[in-house]
Amino acid sequence: MRPEYVKQTNFDSEMTRFAGKYGLYLYREKGVDFSDQPTGVPVIFIHGHAGSYKQVRSLAAESAFCYYRNYAHDAAKWQQGVRNLDFFTVDFHEEFSALHGQSLLEQAEYLNDAIDYILKLYPQTRKYDAEAKLPDPTSVIIIGHSMGGIVARTMFTMNNYQHGTINTVITMSTPHMLPPVPFDWQISQLYDDINQFWQEGFSHPNQPADDTHRYPPPPHVSLRDISIISMAGGTLDNTVCSDSTNMGSIVPATHGFTVFSTAVPHVWTGADHVSILTCNQLVKIVSKTLLDLVDVRRGSQTKPLEERMQIMRHAFLSGLEDRKGDGSDVELGNLTFYNLAPDQGIFLKPGERWIIGQEAAAGVILLPTVANADAFSVLSDSPIGYDGRFELMLCSKVNGYAGNATRVACRSANSIAVPIPASTGSDAYPFSGNTFSFASIEFHEMGSYSYLAVVDKGGQSGGFLMIEPFKKSTHTLVIRQSMLSIALEGVHVKTGPGLFTSIRIPSIESPILAYHLKVSRPRCRSYPTHFAPFLRQSISTMHESKFYVNLAGNSHAETDVSIHGRTAFASIVSNSRDVDQNGLSFQLWMDPACPEPVQLDLSIDWYGSAGRLGFRNGIMLATFSFISVMLVFAAQIKCYNDTGIYPHFGQGLSFCFQRSFPLVMVCMAVCSIAQCASPSTHYTFDDLWYLPSSKLSWQDIMTGNTDGFFWWIPLAGLALSVGVVCLLWLVVEGAVRIAAHASILFTSHCGLSAWPSRIRETSQQQFQRRAVTTLVLFLLVATFIPYQFVFVVAFLVQIVTCIRALVRARTSPHRSDYRRSNRYNFMLSILLLFFTLLPFNLPILLVWIRNISVHWFVPFSSDHSVLAIAPFMIYVEILTGSRKMLPRQQNRLGCIITYLIMYYIVIYAFLYGIKYTHWIYFLSNHLVIWFLFLHLQDSHYGRASLHYLLDYVMIGSKKHS
């Protein structure tokens, strides 16, 4: 590859307000693309979080080579409108888009402006072309990686989106369902908005587009011609959970699907988050598919929606998905008549299995349908089709003979054959490069044809083909075990000998657990076999297929099995209402030459499951840690109000272990069990639009889990979070004590009597200095810096204040003065609360620092709210300057209000803190406002104001009387 990135300098500030922040480039492959002007079909690549615009290189280079090698000199393809692809790529300067919703909105707005600019280039660059009669492009193809896929979907919701300028979107490793880091309120709101927009856009597919004059157009108009594919890397992607890439509840099958790289033919391997863009096998498939979608004879530059979806299904899906069963989706060739002489064709007996080896027995082998079977299965190590050794046809005998020949009418059925990974003793992985061909057809799909014919053209060395009739009911096993039974005993299945067997376990649908699979067939080693047993794993909720080859070679070897499925806070969209058709499915191929059965043993991998559980519930740890700190904080305040002694954090933890935590865990267990016992969430896509909202409400709370086997996850999360909080307390208090001890040693060594302070500064001067500092920070928040920066400043100030409080408590002449101990314990509790709130503010601060580094100083419109930080900043200033702590509340009303606010925050964080994590910060803001009110009420000005109001009310009432 010899990449060249041509910057589009004409796309300046007159066309977009983000010209100074982002950049637009046209990719050109040196030695292949000889023009710097776009003349083909526009494609825009959108990189993701902290990505680079140069990540387009693999796709763009392969597309260029593929076009000029296979399409440029093909007259037929040229007449069909196939042209080269012009890859435009956007430089977002490695922006941290996964952390900040405003960044996603700005990128989407910039890209809509870029599309308008790109489409205006082509009338100029094509006017010198001999094909001036071709229509000017009106739309582009979008390829989005990671958060770039979210940006692509957001573009449709923006006010500057021009209807019809996008018709095909391919996303790679994009978390469509949930934001990976939901600490920013705007990114959570953005996800809700775009998912609602896309669901509404497909909820009424037959609604006429009679309101196209509206601007912006409604969702069902904007998405009418859209095809969108979500590709996932699977288990190897440790950055984005592949469960979240599933668009089954958003996009119907007529407009898109979700597929894993392990299911794509000739790829059959997983990919991590970055290498999904550079995986050679996958890049070749995607590049060829993009070229197959092109049709410059149409203004959209692509084929119609149905043709695009058919092309992408053929390219990206395994081909082993269930067909309709009535034969309507089986592509057959033209009707052809053959006269088969006795030495040219063999008519097998009903129910007979046939194996073709290296030597051809006859030109045509015909297998009749039989009463005790309902389908045929075919497996070969040679390609099945016009270019291979074998072909498949559906045939029937017809009247009329020519001598001893039998006259048959046949139609080609090569379309039912699909490539699958080869499985021999030398194949260790499905992506070894060797392939088999497999075909299966039910008798109902054959229609009026009574024979399945195999045409053996010979001419190739080696090879085999096996074909046998089978009955699906006897070769399909449904394991009706509960998850509890699977966890305790595992799954143990013994299948009879047969070429193709299906095993389905409806109970296994959750992606949380990992499994060990062992396939054994020890007695077959003495039999001559053509291939080793191999297996395909699939799940009913999305197109995830994994192949495991060369099994049963070692009776002690185990294979690691893991699945992806429903993500949290989303409905399960299944292809079938039949429960037995849901869950985990295994399709097993074994050589029928050996009459011995295959033993399949499946057990849970608890160690691997723990890792998957942690990967999918990381936000729960942060949320429940906040809940734990808030419960201890409430217990400390209650003890302080009752006794006047503010206990240290360890004593509060001890109290909560005895009282609060057991009660909270009981409530969690009840709610989690009720959530799992809610009505089933297995729906087809059309069901989602007619369900009452009450049926879907349970999935939006807690961890979003509705699988009864995992009701204990919130309890485990709380227990782990309590351990994290204990560790955090020990580390923080240890660090504070070390810093305080070092401070005391430093002051004594320097001959200072106490912590350095402004002794000559009067209280009025101190108040003025702090007021000016606070006002300056507020002014900066309103104009330049985000409020998250001020929170970090307040956090650092609180650390210093906590150290000073401990120093004063230790150096007090009256060591028994409990007031200074109370203040230090309170300061430490506030510091620990700030620690749990720190993850909600640091991501935005990182985005702001990144923007400063690229010289972008335009402030975020959403992160400059003074009210979002004023309570924290003012309270820290009060605690620092007045050397006071929270006033003790001895009146019952004040105590009740304090407890109600704190426990309301706990309840909300417990119910909605995982999905809407950002609200935890704002609710904590409300608590600090209440603390400020308590301080004001206890101050001299507060008491004076209260007396004034009371006197005014009393005097006014007396005058009135």
Q: What structural domains and CATH numbers belong to the chain? A: 3-316 (3.40.50.1820), 336-470 (2.60.120), 476-614 (2.60.120), 618-945 (no CATH)
Instruction: Dig out the tokens for 28 from the structure.
Output: 């050109």
Tell me if 675 sits within 8 A of 706, measured CB to CB.
yes
Tell me if 381 sits within 8 A of 422, measured CB to CB.
yes
pLDDT score at 940 = 67
pTM of the entire predicted model: 0.89
CA distance 151 to 128: 35
Distance of CA 532 to the CA centre of its chain: 35
Contacts of residue 263, defined as CB under 8 A and 6 or more positions apart, other chains included, come to 316, 317, 318, 538, 543, 544, 545, 546
CA distance 183 to 921: 9
For 890, other C-beta atoms within 10 Å of its C-beta total 10
Tell me what percent of the residues of the chain surpass a pLDDT of 70: 88
Label residue 845 exposed, middle or buried (CB < 10 Å: 0-12, 13-18, 19+): buried
Active site (annotated) includes residue 882? no
Label residue 138 exposed, middle or buried (CB < 10 Å: 0-12, 13-18, 19+): middle
pLDDT score at 689 = 45
pLDDT score at 693 = 42
User: Is residue 62 pLDDT above 90, yes or no?
Assistant: yes
pLDDT in tens, 460-516: 666 889 999 999 888 899 999 999 999 999 999 998 888 999 999 998 988 899 999
Mean predicted confidence (pLDDT) in 679-705:
57
CA distance 849 to 427: 50
Residue 954 pLDDT class (50, 70, 90 cuts): low
Mean predicted confidence (pLDDT) in 309-318:
94
Instruction: Dig out the tokens for 706 from the structure.
Output: 């509705």
Range list of β-strands (E), 433-565: 435-442, 451-456, 465-470, 476-478, 491-495, 500-505, 514-520, 534-539, 542-548, 559-562
Q: What is the rounded average pLDDT for all residues in the chain?
A: 86
User: Is residue 677 pLDDT above 90, yes or no?
Assistant: no
Tokens 């940006």 sit at which residue?
151
For 736, other C-beta atoms within 10 Å of its C-beta total 20
Distance of CA 399 to the CA centre of its chain: 59
Instruction: Dig out the tokens for 282 from the structure.
Output: 């996958």
The CA-CA-CA angle for residues 699, 700, 702, to 5°, reads 90
User: Is residue 761 pLDDT above 70, yes or no?
Assistant: no
User: Is residue 128 pLDDT above 60, yes or no?
Assistant: no
Dihedral, CA of residue 626, residue 632, residue 635 and residue 641, to nearest 10: -90
Could you give the residue ranges of the DSSP H alpha helices within 574-659? 606-616, 618-643, 649-658
Instruction: Dig out the tokens for 241 from the structure.
Output: 């959970």
User: Is residue 459 pLDDT above 80, yes or no?
Assistant: no
**What number of CA atoms fall less than 13 Å from residue 821's CA on the CB side?**
12
Residue 65 pLDDT class (50, 70, 90 cuts): very high
CA distance 916 to 30: 48
Could you give the residue ranges of the DSSP H alpha helices within 475-573? 483-489
pLDDT in tens, 804-817: 999 888 876 665 56
Q: Nearest Cα to 844, choosing from 4, 30, 104?
A: 104
pLDDT score at 859 = 65
Enclosing H/E stretch for 477: strand 476-478
pLDDT score at 690 = 45
Contacts of residue 284, defined as CB under 8 A and 6 or more positions apart, other chains included, come to 62, 66
Mean predicted confidence (pLDDT) in 202-220:
60
DSSP notation for 728-779: HHHHHHHHHHHHHHHHHHHHHHTT-SSS---TT--HHHHHHHHHHHHHHHHH
pLDDT score at 764 = 73
- Pick the more confident residue, 716 or 525: 716
Tell me if 219 sits within 8 A of 251, measured CB to CB.
no
Instruction: Dig out the tokens for 645 from the structure.
Output: 């002694």
CA distance 720 to 624: 9
Instruction: Dig out the tokens for 568 from the structure.
Output: 């949290």
Tell me if 585 sits within 8 A of 503, measured CB to CB.
yes
Tell me if 594 sits within 8 A of 543, measured CB to CB.
no
Label residue 199 exposed, middle or buried (CB < 10 Å: 0-12, 13-18, 19+): middle
pLDDT in tens, 812-865: 666 556 888 899 999 999 999 999 999 888 888 888 888 887 777 666 666 778
Enclosing H/E stretch for 829: helix 818-837
User: Is residue 948 pLDDT above 70, yes or no?
Assistant: no
Catalytic residue among 146, 380, 510, 540: 146
Contacts of residue 722, defined as CB under 8 A and 6 or more positions apart, other chains included, come to 624, 628, 661
Contacts of residue 612, defined as CB under 8 A and 6 or more positions apart, other chains included, come to 511, 512, 513, 514, 562
What is the C-alpha R_g of the chain? Answer: 34
Q: Nearest Cα to 291, choosing from 131, 114, 70?
A: 70
Instruction: Dig out the tokens for 527 from the structure.
Output: 């039999």
pLDDT score at 351 = 85
pLDDT score at 694 = 41
Q: Is 744 left (phi over 0), alpha (psi -120 to 50) or beta?
A: alpha
CA distance 732 to 833: 12
Instruction: Dig out the tokens for 500 from the structure.
Output: 């193709």
User: Is residue 158 pLDDT above 90, yes or no?
Assistant: yes
pLDDT score at 585 = 92
Phi, psi (deg, nearest 5) at residue 758: -85, 90
Mean predicted confidence (pLDDT) in 453-461:
80
User: Is residue 64 pLDDT above 90, yes or no?
Assistant: yes
For 954, other C-beta atoms within 10 Å of its C-beta total 10
Q: Nearest Cα to 897, choosing from 871, 920, 867, 929?
A: 929
Tell me if 367 sits within 8 A of 449, measured CB to CB.
no
Mean predicted confidence (pLDDT) in 571-595:
72
User: Is residue 399 pLDDT above 60, yes or no?
Assistant: yes
pLDDT score at 368 = 93
pLDDT in tens, 278-306: 999 999 999 999 999 999 999 999 999 99
Residue 248 pLDDT class (50, 70, 90 cuts): confident
User: Is residue 692 pLDDT above 50, yes or no?
Assistant: no
User: Is residue 366 pLDDT above 80, yes or no?
Assistant: yes
User: Is residue 709 pLDDT above 50, yes or no?
Assistant: yes
The one-letter amino acid code at 611 reads: G
Distance of CA 826 to the CA centre of its chain: 41
pLDDT score at 185 = 86
Instruction: Dig out the tokens for 276 from the structure.
Output: 């999904």
- Pick the more confident residue, 767 or 643: 643
pLDDT in tens, 712-751: 999 999 999 999 999 999 999 999 999 999 988 887 777 6
Label residue 353 exposed, middle or buried (CB < 10 Å: 0-12, 13-18, 19+): middle
pLDDT score at 206 = 57
Mean predicted confidence (pLDDT) in 195-223:
69
Tell me if 223 sits within 8 A of 156, measured CB to CB.
yes
